[in-house]
Structure 1
Amino acid sequence: MVLPSRLLGMLPALFVLLWSTGFIGAKYGLPYADPLAFLVARYALVIVALSLLAWVGKAVWITNSTQLLHLAIAGLLLQATYLGGVFIAISHGLPAGLTSLLVGLQPLLTALLAGILLGETVGKYQWLGIATGLLGVVLVLAQKAGVATAHNLSWYEVTPALFALLGITFGTLYQKRFCPHFDLRTGSVVQFVPSLIITALLVPVMGEWHIEWTGHFLFALGWQVIVLSLGAISLLNLLIRQQGAINITSLFYLTPAVTTLIAWVLFDEVLTLQQWLGMALTMLGVWLVRRNPLAKAVSR
């Protein structure tokens, strides 16, 4: 599917906005559910919704075994590993700000690996943008992350966030390399099914089947399914199809800043001058990364 250039230009901003609202799920949902049980419910509803959309739209289901395998692996990295790591880290007590900071290292890690795995050239302005964006993220989250040092962080809290970082990084690179083009309805079902199975198997090992079906939880679950899984992740798949991996992952630098702005608007959280400066540096960094014409994927 080839999108009009005007619409394509709007996708990054819309993706950042939707992705940044992911904190709503953690804020409202995790107090009422085991993190993995929460994700099982989310994956199950997404699979049902996408299957209905595929049936109504008479979408063609993928039958090629190689493509099915690639989609399943990408899905396990982008869904089960990334989301599972983030939800577990927060449920273990890691502050959301520090979790965002750790996962926010993704653009740097992607830049280091993109040349090896995808043959993408990282220009000097992109390296400058990556460094500037990382500094901006640190400034935005420094105060929240600093709170975490007061209770002596443990590997029990940090390790899931590091797995999430590896999952979103390698998932983006893997999908870009092996399966960038697929029907967003049927292909996404293929990605979510193995994540549902693996996550369900891990629930009794790493947690428990516990969900309190409160109004807060139902709101959080609905938001995660509709806005995040059907909206933001579909946009991420489109961006992976259309753009270079470094350009895509640079957008994740913006999510902590946008999340902070949303919290400022909705929850009256105070923004310091340091955080405003961090947001400005983050936007400058992403602009430097995405303006560079030198990042080109080498055909393999």
Structure 2
Amino acid sequence: MTQATPHPSPASNPLDSLVPLLFVALWSTGFIGAKLGLPYIEPLTFLGLRFAIVTVLMLAVVALVRAPWPPAGRAWGHIAVSGLLVHGVYLGGVFMAIGHGLPSGITALVVGLQPLLTALVAGALLGEKVRPAQWVGLGLGFSGVALVVAGKVATVPAGALVGMLLPALVALLGITAGTLYQKRFCPSFDLRTGSVIQYLPCAIAMAVLAYATETMAITWSGEFVFALGWLVLVLSLGAVSLLNLLIRRGGAVNVASLFYLTPPTTALIAWAMFGETLTGWALVGMVLAAAGVWLARQTR
């Protein structure tokens, strides 16, 4: 009997090792984009406009290349639900938290609980086994994130902190549930048509909520246009496409662990762009976060 030659796994491509790093670099700029844009627009209006532009752009791409749509109505529903959780609930919570005055570093710290939360439920929902070394990595990573943003906690009045944290906690639940839901029910779909199915309901939901709760006023400026363009092209099209690829190829815990690198990377970008200080403990935290992610992503 002739033995078939096994196909190389996707991870065997050396370029694939760059995908997680590129995802972290792009995803981390989302907090900076929100900080730049939110002085000129309210959070839900900002997101509704962003999602609407992405939907129109991706519809044009789909029409141009005739990308395939999912074959079954159930698949459409699963993709739409995952989009509402990952984009609508997560980004809605993040933008509202930052819009209400919560520093982006603290927002990133709250959302940084996602890898631990994902690991707690991934076994029951996806049958993934989290090894002891991965648990150590997850704990080490969160400790590193906490050190990176510890200095920013003191900048928020204690009386206002609880109210500011609520949207961030909603964002945490959204990104965790969305990642697990997508991995369970729709891990693979065409990224072009899938983006339309994910973003269209988000655009509608944000428009309705913004109409009901906000003035929907926009102060157009060069800085706002830059932030909007960056979030549309780099985040919604670039980083989210990479996230979908990572969910398709890796375990939920492995993918979630990458979010530990977001606060350190955001802190570095803020240091370079806005002159924000980096303490010695923050630098130690960056090293711990990187070591934790490395441990959590070990498959053997």
Q: Name the residue aligned to 2:195.
A: 188
1:226 aligns with 2:230: no
Task: Name the CA distance, whole Å, in 1 between partners of 2:186 and 2:10.
Answer: 16
Q: Identify the range of structure 1 (106-115 vs 93-102) with the bigger mean alpha-carbon deviation.
A: 93-102
Contact 2:35 2:98 in 1 (8 A): no
Q: Name the residue aligned to 2:108.
A: 100
1:272 to 262, 279, 285: 279
Identical-residue share of aligned pairs (%): 54
Shift of 1:157: 1.5
Task: Name the CA distance, whole Å, in 2 between partners of 1:87 and 1:52.
Answer: 27
Task: Name the CA distance, whole Å, in 2 between partners of 1:151 and 1:289.
Answer: 33
1:24 to 29, 32, 42: 32
1:91 aligns with 2:99: yes
Task: Name the CA distance, whole Å, in 1 between partners of 2:12 and 2:116.
Answer: 30
1:178 counterpart letter in structure 2: F
2:155 counterpart letter in structure 1: V
Aligned-partner SS, 1:291:
coil
2:132 to 124, 142, 151: 124
Shift of 1:36: 0.5
Shift of 1:3: 7.5
1:179 aligns with 2:174: no
Task: Name the CA distance, whole Å, in 2 between partners of 1:269 and 1:93.
Answer: 17
Query: 1:7-51, CA deviations, whole angstroms, 9 ceiling, x for partnerless residues?
Result: 221100000000011122222100000111101110011011111
Q: Name the residue aligned to 2:19.
A: 11
2:147 counterpart letter in structure 1: L
Shift of 1:172: 0.2
Query: 1:149-207, CA deviations, whole angstroms, 9 ceiling, x for partnerless residues?
Result: x3423543211111100000000000000001000000111000111111111112232
Aligned-partner SS, 1:147:
coil
Task: Name the CA distance, whole Å, in 1 between partners of 2:204 and 2:196.
Answer: 12
Q: Identify the range of structure 1 (34-43 vs 265-274) with the bigger mean alpha-carbon deviation.
A: 265-274
2:255 counterpart letter in structure 1: I
Aligned-partner SS, 2:155:
helix
Query: 1:229-254, CA deviations, whole angstroms, 9 ceiling, x for partnerless residues?
Result: 00000000000000000000000000
Aligned-partner SS, 1:260:
helix
2:117 counterpart letter in structure 1: L
Task: Name the CA distance, whole Å, in 1 between partners of 2:213 and 2:107.
Answer: 19
Contact 1:125 1:292 in 2 (8 A): no
Task: Name the CA distance, whole Å, in 1 between partners of 2:154 and 2:42.
Answer: 26
Contact 2:102 2:161 in 1 (8 A): no
Contact 2:11 2:17 in 1 (8 A): no
Task: Name the CA distance, whole Å, in 1 between partners of 2:92 and 2:13.
Answer: 34
1:51 aligns with 2:93: no
TM-score normalized by the length of structure 1:
0.94
Q: Name the residue aligned to 2:120.
A: 112
TM-score normalized by the length of structure 2:
0.94
Aligned-partner SS, 2:277:
coil
2:274 counterpart letter in structure 1: F
Q: Name the residue aligned to 2:160.
A: 153
How well do the aligned residues superpose, as a CA RMSD in angstroms? 1.4
Listed as ranges, the gaps of 5+ residues in structure 2 are 1-8
Contact 1:16 1:251 in 2 (8 A): yes
Q: Name the residue aligned to 2:6.
A: none
Aligned-partner SS, 1:59:
coil
1:142 aligns with 2:158: no
2:264 to 246, 257, 269: 257
Contact 1:107 1:246 in 2 (8 A): yes
2:100 counterpart letter in structure 1: H
Task: Name the CA distance, whole Å, in 2 between partners of 1:78 and 1:258.
Answer: 21
Task: Name the CA distance, whole Å, in 1 between partners of 2:217 and 2:84.
Answer: 23
Shift of 1:4: 6.1
1:212 counterpart letter in structure 2: T
1:167 to 151, 174, 179: 174
1:244 to 251, 255, 258: 251
Task: Name the CA distance, whole Å, in 2 between partners of 1:155 and 1:207.
Answer: 22
